[in-house]
C-alpha cells in the first residue's frame, strides 16, 4: 500500500481519465437530448454528424422506440465516434487556453462587484470598481447557469474569449475598449471594459416614434430624437462596422440594442460575441451542445441604467444560439438559411439596412407579425422563407431617398447590396447633406436640384431659371431624365428603328453575335460575314445621322479603332467604363455651361472628366489618347452630340462604339452578353486552321491516331479523327495516355527534356484522352461488400455500373489566366492580381474559383468545352484503381501529394478552428500551401491528371441525386457514353438544381479527398474553394475512317 501511495504521478494516465470523462459527459448529453425528441427530430439531429451507415442509424432509432436503452447506447456510440473525438480535442484546446488566461490575466478579486446592469444569452454584466486604478468599469463574465457539471460550457467559453480578443483588437472610437481578461475561480472567463453611460439605440428609436405632441416623449438618454439625429447615429455606428470589416471582422448580430449612444454623443457598437473573421468556417455550437434547446435565449445590451433582458417569447429581435447565430429580425437571408460560407460583410450591411428600416418604420422587419407567433421555430421559418413587408409599405411617409437606401442594403442577394458598408455610409451622408443618393434617382437634373436645395441663398427666380434652361435648352439632358423611365426609353428606341435602317440592322447584328459565341473553324465564313455587315451598318449610320453628329464621331473615332482597344482582359472593360464616364461628364459640363449653371459645378465636372480620361489612358498603351478620342483635347465632340437633341442619341452612340470595336462588345473584347468578340473568335479560328494545315500538325495527328488504333494499347483500338480545335501533344511519358492542347484557350505548351509539359500563364487547356469502358462506381453498403469503405457517407453507398465512351479530361484545374482569357475577368477570391500577403502567394496558374455552376457551363461552352460528369470524374481520379484516394489506399499517401488542410494552414493567424480538427484526423499531412496552389504542383495520378485530390473542389455537370440501383427500375437512368444521371422528365442540365462537386480542396480533410466523396452545392453558389476542370467529347470516327 505504501508503495502505491508513493507511486509517481502519471500525467498521461490523468489525461486519459480526463478524456474518458469528457467523452462520457458528451455522450450522456447527446443521449439525454435525443431521448426528448421524436423519431423525425432524432434523425434530423444526427443527420449532420459523420455516421457509419443507414443501418446504424436505423438500429439506434429502433432500439429507442423499443425502449432498449442498452442497445440504443451501443449504436449511438458508433454513430457519434467522430463527434466525441472532436469534443475531446475541443476540451483539450480549451483547457490549455483557460490555463493560459489564469496564468497571465488579473485576479477577479481586483474588481469590487456592484449591481448587475445587463444579461444576455451568454454573459452577465456587472458594474465594478477597479481596486488598483479606482475607476468604474463594466465586467462581463460567463453566466453561472452556463456550467456543465461544475465546468463552463466549452463552446460558450470559446466564443466568450473570442469576443474579448476580437473587441480588444478593434481600436476604434466606436468600439468599447477592453482593458483586461481573466478567469474566475470556478473557471468562468471574464473581461473588463469601459462603462458606457448613455442610452441604447433601440430606446432612441422608440422615443423617435412616440405618439402625441408631448416633446418630452421624444427624449431618451437626455437627447431629443428626430429622424436626422437617428440617421447620424446610424452613420457613426456603420463607420465602426466598416472599420471592423477593414480588419477582417464581421459582427453578425447588429441591431438597435447593440448600439449605444453615450451621454456626450459618442456612438458605440457593442456585443461582438458572435463576431468572426471573414472566411472563417462556422463553428456550429449547437451540434454537441446540450443547452441548445428550442426555447429562446434572452437578449440584452449593456446599459448603465437597467437590465434589458427579454423574456422567452418568440421575439423577432432575439438572438438565437445554435446552428444559425444572430437576431432574426435583422438577419440576412444567407445567415437565416444557414449558408455560413456566404455570411460576410454584406450580411452586416443587410443588418444595418434593417436597423434603418426600424428607424423609418418604427418597428423592426417582420414587426408586422407581432409577438404572438406560436414559438421561436415557427417565427424562424417565416424569417428564413419569406421577405419582410417592404419598406415602401411599412414606411410610405419616409423620404424616398432613405427608402431607396434601405431597399438596396436589404437586397436578398449579397451581390445586389452596396459594394461595402462605406458606400452605405456615403449614401446616408449624402441624404443628410442634401446631395444625390446613389441608391435613388441619379443624373444631372437630380444633381442640379440638390445643388439648388443646398444653396438656399440662391433666389427662387434664378433657381427656376436654371432648371428651365436645362429642360428647354438641352434636349439630351431632358432625355436623360426620361431614360430613367423604362417605358419611355423603349418608346425612343422603337422610334429609332422606325426612322433609321441602321438601327434595325444593328439589332440583328447583336442577336447574331450572341448566336456565334463558340470558337469554331467551321464558322470562319460566318464571322467574316458578320464583320462585313458591321462595317456596312457603320457606314449607313454615318449617312443616316449626318456629318455633323454621329458622322463626326465616325470620322474622328472609328478610323482609330484598330489601335484603340486592348485585345482581351479586364483592362478593356475598365477602360471602356472610364471612357463612358468621361464622355458623360463632359457632355454634362458643356450643357450646364451653356445653360448658365454656376461655374463651380462646371469646373468640378470638367476636372472629373479629365480624371476619367486619364484613367482610360493608364489602361492602354501605344494608342491615341482618351482625351483626343473623346474630343476633350480639341474637337468639340461633346457639344456636337449635345446639340443633336435626339432622345435615342446616347444609346445609339454606345452601341455604335461597341460595333466599331472601340469598347468591348460584339466585335472585340469580352463581355457577359456576347462572350468573345467576333473578331477575336475569327482570329483564333484562323490560327487553328493555319496550324492544322502544316506538316507538324499532320504528323502529330497521324501519330496520335496510331496510338489510339493499337489494339494492345491503352485504348484497345479506337478510331481517332483530327479536330481543328486540338493540337496533339503526344503521349505522356508517365501515364502512357495521349494529350492534346485546346487551341481556343491559349498556346500549346511544349514538353521539356524530361517529357513533362512546361506551363505558363498563356498556356492552353491540356486534355487527356481517357480510355472508355465499363466501370463500377460508388461504395459497398456493408462490411464485406465489394469496395466497402468505412469512411463513406450514405450518399456514396451504392454500387452501380456505367459504360463510358473515351473522353477528353483536362489535365489540370482551369487556371485564373485561362478563365480571364475566356470570360474577361477574374472572379476568384484569392486572385493573382491581389496577391501580397507574405503567407499566401497566388499566380496566374492558380485555379480559378468563386465561380457559379451556370457560369462555368456558359464560359466553357464558348470554346466547345463542358464540365465532366461525376462518373467521368470518379473514373479519371481513381484511374480505375480500387484505392480510396488517387494517391493510394492509405491516407498517409496524401502527404506531400495533395493540397489539403495541414499544419502550415492550420497555424496561420485567423485560420478556421475546423481546420485543426481536420488536421487531427490526419496529423501527418503536410503541403506547402495555405490556400490553393498553382495547378500541377503535386504529382499526377496514374492517368496523368493533377490535383484530383485537393486544391479546389470541381463542379460536375450532374445535378445531385441518389445513385441508381441496378435492380431499381424507378431510379434515374444513366446516359450511356457520359454517365450523366437524368431524372425522368428533367432536362440534362438543370441550372436550378443542386449540383455535384468532387475532389476535395485546400479546406478539406483526407476523408473529403477520397475518389468517391460527393460534395453538394446550389448551382448559384460560389466559394473560394470551388473551381472547375474542363472536359470534351473525344473526336472519334468509325473503324475505317
pLDDT in tens, 111-143: 888 888 887 777 889 999 988 888 889 989 888
Buried b (16+ CB within 10 A) or exposed e, 355-365: bbbbbbbbbbb
Helix, strand, coil tally for the chain in percent (to 5): 45, 15, 40
Distance separating alpha carbons of residues 330 and 355, to the nearest angstrom: 7
Q: What is the pLDDT of residue 26?
A: 59
The span from the first CA to the last CA of the chain, in angstroms, equals 92
Instruction: Give yes or no for a contact between 58 and 78, defined as CB atoms under 8 angstroms apart.
Output: no
Q: What is the pLDDT of residue 445?
A: 38
Of 1028, 1027, 825, 1031, the residue nearest 931 (C-alpha): 1027
Instruction: Give yes or no for a contact between 849 and 947, defined as CB atoms under 8 angstroms apart.
Output: no
Binding positions for ATP are 140
Of 896, 869, 874, the residue nearest 886 (C-alpha): 874
Percent of the chain beyond pLDDT 90? Answer: 23
pLDDT tens, 454-510? 444 333 333 333 333 333 333 333 333 333 334 434 444 444 444 456 677 877 888
Distance separating alpha carbons of residues 882 and 1005, to the nearest angstrom: 20
- 3-state SS of 461-495 is HHHHHHHHHHHHHCHHHHHHHHHCCHHHHHHHHHH
Q: Within its chain, how far is the Cα of 903 from the centroid?
A: 26
Distance separating alpha carbons of residues 920 and 803, to the nearest angstrom: 39
Between 880 and 833, residue with greater pLDDT: 880
Question: For residue 405, what pLDDT band results from cuts at 50, 70 and 90?
Answer: very high
Q: With 60 as the cut, is the pLDDT of residue 642 above it?
A: no
160, exposed or middle or buried, with CB in 10 Å at 0-12, 13-18, 19+? Answer: buried
The three-state secondary structure class of 225 is: coil
Of 478, 655, 470, the residue nearest 553 (C-alpha): 655
Largest CA distance in the chain: 114
Looking up cell 474542363 gives: 1030
Q: With 50 as the cut, is the pLDDT of residue 313 above it?
A: no
Instruction: Give yes or no for a contact between 802 and 974, defined as CB atoms under 8 angstroms apart.
Output: yes
Q: With 80 as the cut, is the pLDDT of residue 716 above it?
A: yes
pLDDT tens, 869-882? 999 999 999 999 99
Which residues pair with residue 1027 across a beta bridge?
954
The three-state secondary structure class of 205 is: helix
Binding positions are 140
Q: What are phi and psi of 763, to 5 degrees?
A: -70, 145
Average pLDDT over residues 270-281: 74
pLDDT tens, 978-1019? 777 654 444 445 556 789 999 999 888 888 999 999 999 888
Predicted structure pTM score: 0.47
CA dihedral 568, 571, 574, 580 (to 10 degrees): -70
Lowest mean pLDDT segment, chosen from 84-98, 727-741, 772-786 = 84-98
Lowest mean pLDDT segment, chosen from 597-601, 643-647, 1032-1036 = 643-647
Of 241, 233, 252, 223, the residue nearest 159 (C-alpha): 252
Looking up cell 467604363 gives: 577
Q: What is the pLDDT of residue 19?
A: 52
Of 630, 871, 597, 865, the residue nearest 743 (C-alpha): 865
Instruction: Give yes or no for a contact between 981 and 974, defined as CB atoms under 8 angstroms apart.
Output: yes
Q: With 90 as the cut, is the pLDDT of residue 678 above it?
A: no
Instruction: Give yes or no for a contact between 335 and 347, defined as CB atoms under 8 angstroms apart.
Output: yes
Q: Walk me through the domains of the chain, giving residue ranges and CATH numbers.
A: 11-88 (no CATH), 123-432 (1.10.510.10), 500-686 (no CATH), 772-800+815-1030 (3.90.1580.10)
Determine which helix (DSSP H) or strand (DSSP E) holds 277, and give its type and residue range: strand 276-277
Between 822 and 664, residue with greater pLDDT: 822
Looking up cell 456592484 gives: 114
Lowest mean pLDDT segment, chosen from 34-38, 796-800, 844-848 = 34-38
Q: Angle of helix 39-47 relative to helix 54-66, nearest 10 degrees? A: 150
Looking only at the bridges linking them, the beta strands covering 738-742 and 726-731 are antiparallel
Q: Angle of helix 649-660 relative to helix 486-499, nearest 10 degrees? A: 70
Q: What is the pLDDT of residue 466?
A: 36
Which residues pair with residue 192 across a beta bridge?
139, 180
Q: Residue 572 has which C-alpha cell?
A: 478593356
Of 260, 263, 270, the residue nearest 200 (C-alpha): 260
Q: What are phi and psi of 451, to 5 degrees?
A: -60, -45
Q: With 80 as the cut, is the pLDDT of residue 412 above it?
A: yes
Q: Residue 356 has which C-alpha cell?
A: 434603418
Q: What is the pLDDT of residue 350?
A: 96
383, exposed or middle or buried, with CB in 10 Å at 0-12, 13-18, 19+? Answer: buried
Q: What is the pLDDT of residue 591?
A: 54
Instruction: Give yes or no for a contact between 954 and 920, defined as CB atoms under 8 angstroms apart.
Output: no
pLDDT tens, 507-540? 788 878 877 767 778 888 888 888 888 888 887 7
Q: What is the pLDDT of residue 417?
A: 93
Amino acid at each position: 500500500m505504501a508503495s502505491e501511495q508513493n507511486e509517481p504521478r502519471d500525467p498521461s494516465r490523468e489525461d486519459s481519465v480526463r478524456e474518458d470523462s469528457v467523452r462520457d459527459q458528451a455522450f450522456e448529453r447527446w443521449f439525454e437530448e435525443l431521448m426528448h425528441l421524436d423519431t423525425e427530430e432524432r434523425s434530423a439531429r444526427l443527420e449532420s454528424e459523420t455516421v457509419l451507415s443507414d443501418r446504424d442509424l436505423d438500429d439506434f432509432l429502433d432500439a429507442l422506440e423499443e425502449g432498449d436503452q442498452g442497445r440504443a447506447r451501443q449504436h449511438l456510440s458508433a454513430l457519434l465516434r467522430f463527434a466525441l473525438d472532436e469534443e475531446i480535442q475541443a476540451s483539450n484546446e480549451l483547457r490549455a487556453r483557460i490555463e493560459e488566461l489564469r496564468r497571465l490575466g488579473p485576479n477577479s478579486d481586483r474588481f469590487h462587484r456592484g449591481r448587475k446592469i445587463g444579461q444576455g444569452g451568454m454573459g452577465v454584466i456587472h458594474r465594478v470598481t477597479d481596486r488598483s486604478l479606482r475607476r468604474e468599469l463594466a465586467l462581463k463574465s460567463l453566466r453561472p447557469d452556463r456550467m456543465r457539471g461544475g465546468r463552463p460550457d466549452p463552446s460558450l467559453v470559446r466564443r466568450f474569449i473570442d469576443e474579448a480578443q476580437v473587441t480588444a483588437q478593434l481600436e476604434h472610437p466606436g468600439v468599447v475598449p477592453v482593458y483586461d481578461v481573466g478567469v474566475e475561480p470556478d473557471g468562468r472567463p471574464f473581461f473588463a471594459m469601459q462603462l458606457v453611460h448613455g442610452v441604447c439605440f433601440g430606446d432612441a428609436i422608440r422615443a423617435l416614434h412616440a405618439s402625441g405632441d408631448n416633446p418630452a416623449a421624444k427624449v431618451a438618454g437626455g437627447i431629443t430624437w428626430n429622424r436626422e439625429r437617428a440617421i447620424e447615429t446610424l452613420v457613426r455606428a456603420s463607420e465602426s462596422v466598416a472599420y471592423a470589416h477593414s480588419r477582417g471582422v464581421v459582427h453578425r448580430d447588429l441591431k438597435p440594442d447593440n448600439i449605444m449612444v453615450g451621454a456626450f454623443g459618442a456612438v458605440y457598437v457593442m456585443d461582438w460575441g458572435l463576431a468572426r473573421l471573414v472566411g472563417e468556417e462556422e463553428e456550429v455550437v449547437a451540434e454537441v451542445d446540450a443547452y441548445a434547446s428550442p426555447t429562446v435565449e434572452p437578449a440584452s445590451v449593456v446599459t448603465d441604467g437597467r437590465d434589458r433582458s427579454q423574456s422567452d417569447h418568440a421575439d423577432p429581435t432575439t438572438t438565437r444560439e445554435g446552428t444559425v447565430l444572430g437576431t432574426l429580425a435583422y438577419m440576412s437571408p444567407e445567415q437565416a438559411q444557414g449558408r455560413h460560407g456566404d455570411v460576410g460583410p454584406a450580411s452586416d450591411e443587410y443588418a444595418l439596412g434593417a436597423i434603418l428600416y426600424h428607424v423609418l418604420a418604427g418597428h423592426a422587419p417582420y414587426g408586422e407579425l407581432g409577438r404572438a407567433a406560436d414559438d421561436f421555430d415557427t417565427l424562424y421559418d417565416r424569417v428564413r422563407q419569406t421577405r419582410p413587408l417592404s419598406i415602401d409599405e411599412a414606411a410610405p411617409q419616409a423620404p424616398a431617398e432613405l427608402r431607396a437606401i434601405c431597399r438596396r442594403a436589404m437586397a436578398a442577394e449579397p451581390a445586389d447590396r452596396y459594394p461595402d458598408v462605406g458606400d452605405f455610409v456615403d449614401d446616408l451622408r449624402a441624404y443628410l447633406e442634401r446631395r444625390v443618393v446613389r441608391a435613388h434617382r441619379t443624373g444631372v437634373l437630380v444633381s442640379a436640384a440638390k445643388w439648388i436645395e443646398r444653396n438656399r441663398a440662391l433666389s427662387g427666380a434664378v433657381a427656376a431659371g436654371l432648371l428651365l434652361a436645362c429642360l428647354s435648352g438641352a434636349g439630351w439632358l431632358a432625355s436623360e431624365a426620361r431614360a430613367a423611365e423604362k417605358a419611355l426609353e423603349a418608346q425612343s428606341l422603337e422610334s429609332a428603328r422606325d426612322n433609321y435602317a441602321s438601327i434595325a440592322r444593328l439589332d440583328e447584328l447583336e442577336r447574331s453575335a450572341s448566336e456565334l459565341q463558340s470558337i469554331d473553324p467551321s464558322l470562319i465564313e460566318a464571322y467574316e460575314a458578320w464583320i462585313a455587315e458591321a462595317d456596312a451598318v457603320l457606314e449607313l449610320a454615318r449617312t443616316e445621322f449626318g456629318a455633323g453628329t454621329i458622322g463626326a464621331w465616325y470620322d474622328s473615332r472609328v478610323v482609330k479603332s484598330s489601335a484603340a482597344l486592348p485585345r482581351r482582359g479586364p483592362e478593356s472593360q475598365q477602360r471602356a467604363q472610364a471612357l463612358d464616364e468621361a464622355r458623360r461628364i463632359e457632355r454634362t459640363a458643356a450643357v450646364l455651361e451653356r445653360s448658365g449653371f454656376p461655374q463651380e459645378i462646371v469646373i468640378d465636372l470638367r476636372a472629373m472628366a479629365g480624371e476619367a480620361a486619364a484613367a482610360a489612358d493608364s489602361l492602354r498603351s501605344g494608342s491615341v489618347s482618351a482625351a483626343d478620342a473623346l474630343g476633350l483635347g480639341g474637337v468639340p465632340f461633346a457639344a456636337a452630340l449635345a446639340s443633336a437633341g435626339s432622345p435615342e442619341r446616347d444609346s445609339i452612340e454606345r452601341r455604335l462604339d461597341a460595333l466599331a470595336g472601340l469598347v468591348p462588345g460584339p466585335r472585340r473584347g469580352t463581355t457577359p452578353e456576347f462572350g468573345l468578340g467576333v473578331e477575336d473568335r475569327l482570329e483564333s479560328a484562323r490560327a487553328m486552321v493555319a496550324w492544322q494545315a502544316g506538316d507538324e500538325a499532320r504528323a502529330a495527328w497521324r501519330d496520335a491516331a496510331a496510338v489510339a488504333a493499337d489494339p494492345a494499347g491503352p485504348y484497345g483500338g479506337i478510331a481517332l479523327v483530327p479536330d481543328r480545335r486540338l493540337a496533339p501533344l503526344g503521349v505522356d511519358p508517365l501515364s502512357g495516355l495521349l494529350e492534346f492542347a485546346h487551341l481556343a484557350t491559349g498556346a500549346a505548351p511544349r514538353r521539356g527534356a524530361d517529357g513533362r509539359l512546361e506551363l505558363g500563364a498563356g498556356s492552353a487547356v491540356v486534355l487527356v484522352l481517357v480510355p472508355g469502358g465499363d466501370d463500377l462506381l460508388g461504395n459497398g453498403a456493408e462490411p464485406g461488400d465489394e469496395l466497402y469503405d468505412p469512411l463513406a457517407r450514405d450518399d456514396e453507398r451504392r454500387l452501380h455500373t456505367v459504360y463510358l465512351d473515351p473522353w477528353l479530361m483536362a489535365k489540370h484545374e482551369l487556371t485564373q489566366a485561362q478563365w480571364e482569357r475566356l470570360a474577361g475577368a477574374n472572379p476568384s477570391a484569392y486572385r493573382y492580381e491581389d496577391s501580397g500577403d507574405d503567407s499566401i502567394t497566388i499566380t496566374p496558374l492558380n485555379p480559378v474559383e468563386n465561380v457559379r455552376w451556370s457560369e462555368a457551363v456558359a464560359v466553357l461552352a464558348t470554346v466547345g468545352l463542358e464540365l465532366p460528369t461525376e462518373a467521368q470524374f470518379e473514373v479519371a481520379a481513381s484511374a480505375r484503381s480500387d484505392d480510396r484516394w488517387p494517391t493510394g489506399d492509405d491516407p498517409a499517401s496524401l502527404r506531400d501529394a495533395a493540397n489539403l488542410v495541414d499544419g502550415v494552414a492550420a497555424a496561420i493567424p485567423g485560420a478556421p478552428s475546423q481546420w485543426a480538427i481536420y488536421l487531427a484526423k490526419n496529423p501527418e499531412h503536410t503541403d506547402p500551401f495555405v490556400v490553393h496552389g498553382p495547378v500541377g504542383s503535386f504529382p499526377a495520378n496514374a492517368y496523368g491528371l493533377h490535383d484530383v485530390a485537393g486544391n479546389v473542389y470541381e463542379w460536375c455537370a450532374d445535378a445531385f441525386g441518389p445513385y441508381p440501383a441496378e435492380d431499381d427500375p424507378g431510379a434515374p437512368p444513366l446516359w450511356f457514353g457520359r454517365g450523366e444521371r437524368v431524372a425522368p422528365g428533367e432536362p440534362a442540365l438543370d441550372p436550378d438544381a443542386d449540383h455535384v462537386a468532387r475532389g476535395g480542396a485546400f479546406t478539406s480533410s483526407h476523408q473529403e479527398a477520397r475518389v468517391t466523396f460527393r460534395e453538394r452545392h446550389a448551382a448559384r453558389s460560389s466559394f473560394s474553394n470551388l473551381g472547375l476542370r474542363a472536359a470534351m467529347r473525344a473526336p472519334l470516327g468509325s473503324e475505317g475512317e
